[in-house]
């Protein structure tokens, strides 16, 4: 099953008066996240280019979702896969990776430390690293896929004025920014980030010492930093207002979009990476 063709829905109850707010619900992809898209493109390009040969092992660094998507593709196509993941990743992500058949290597520290460990394994001949942080197909997945779907599914005569998306590897922001700007010149691109000292799973701050090469931050016109507690509160508000149990990074994106529309008006499209069930083992869900 190929990822894509996820629903584009309007959030009517949360949108400030006189504005329109649309969300691309990416948990409808095969393993439940937007990262199924780059996983598919990176894997199939590696096979078709001859970089990945039959039965050859794969190593990859991830905060969870890309690794889950890659593991699904690897094991169903006869490739052993080792996933290097920060030990702080949610238990749901770790359980999913093991369930799909990954050899899980937990690494103390940040995603950059997991990447360093994966690169060590690749350098030692333990497997082929696809490396979502530098792989151009990470961004191409959104240029050729996600952004074109948004344009095709868009229900209004006028284009969206704003794109709100999380900054993680930068592939989502870069690919969608380029794709939407091609069809909708003048769209403003909003990078939604955690504070560097207050991380949110799957997201990255521009203050992080490691900035992925796949990211083209020159495309970003506005930057929003959102506290984790604010993102979590927005998740609960979204459940009760719109009926969608979004993930914590999606909560941050929705909060940033509402701030923008309250201040400037207009129309925004949000890319919501995954659903809240991948976060249930974390606060505040365990204390509800």
Distance CA 255, CA 192 (A): 9
Cα 222 to chain centroid distance, Å, stands at 18
CATH class of 8-28+144-287: alpha beta
CATH code of 36-129, in short, is 3.40.50.1100
Structure tokens at 176: 């969608």
Predicted local confidence at residue 281, as pLDDT = 85
Domain ranges for the chain:
8-28+144-287, 36-129
Eight-class DSSP state of 286: G
Bridge partners of 107, per DSSP, are 86
pTM above 0.85, yes or no: yes
**Comparing 8-28+144-287 with 36-129, is the CATH topology the same?**
yes
Residue 27 near residue 274, CB atoms below 8 Å? yes
Predicted local confidence at residue 63, as pLDDT = 87
Question: SS in 3 state form for 63-86?
Answer: CCHHHHHHHHHHHHCCCCEEEEEE
Bridge partners of 270, per DSSP, are 23, 164
pLDDT means over runs of 10, the chain (288 residues): 96 98 98 98 98 97 94 98 93 94 93 93 96 97 98 97 98 98 97 96 93 96 97 96 97 98 98 94 70
């Amino acid at each position: 099953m190929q990822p894509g063709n996820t629903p584009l829905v309007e959030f009517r109850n949360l949108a400030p008066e006189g504005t329109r707010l649309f969300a691309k619900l990416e948990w409808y992809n095969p393993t439940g996240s937007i990262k199924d898209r780059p996983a598919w493109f990176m894997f199939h390009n590696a096979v078709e280019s001859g970089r990945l040969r039959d039965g050859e092992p794969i190593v990859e660094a991830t905060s969870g979702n890309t690794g889950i998507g890659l593991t699904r593709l690897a094991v169903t196509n006869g490739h052993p896969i080792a996933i290097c993941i920060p030990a702080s990743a949610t238990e749901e992500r770790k359980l999913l990776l093991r369930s799909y058949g990954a050899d899980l290597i937990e690494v103390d520290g940040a995603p950059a430390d997991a990447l360093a460990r994966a690169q060590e394994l690749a350098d030692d001949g333990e497997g082929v690293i696809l490396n979502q942080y530098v792989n151009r197909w990470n961004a191409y997945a959104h240029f050729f896929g996600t952004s074109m779907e948004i344009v095709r599914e868009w229900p209004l005569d006028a284009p969206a004025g704003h794109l709100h998306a999380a900054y993680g590897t930068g592939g989502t922001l870069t690919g969608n920014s380029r794709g939407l700007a091609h069809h909708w010149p003048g769209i403003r691109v909003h990078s939604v980030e955690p504070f560097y000292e207050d991380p949110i799973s799957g997201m990255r701050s521009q203050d992080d010492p490691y900035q992925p090469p796949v990211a083209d931050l020159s495309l970003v016109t506005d930057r929003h930093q959102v506290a984790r507690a604010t993102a979590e509160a927005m998740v609960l508000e979204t459940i009760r207002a719109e009926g969608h149990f979004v993930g914590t990074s999606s909560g941050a994106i929705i909060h940033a979009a509402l701030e923008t529309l309250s201040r400037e008006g207009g129309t925004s499209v949000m890319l919501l990476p995954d659903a809240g069930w991948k976060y249930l083992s974390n606060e505040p869900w365990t204390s509800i």
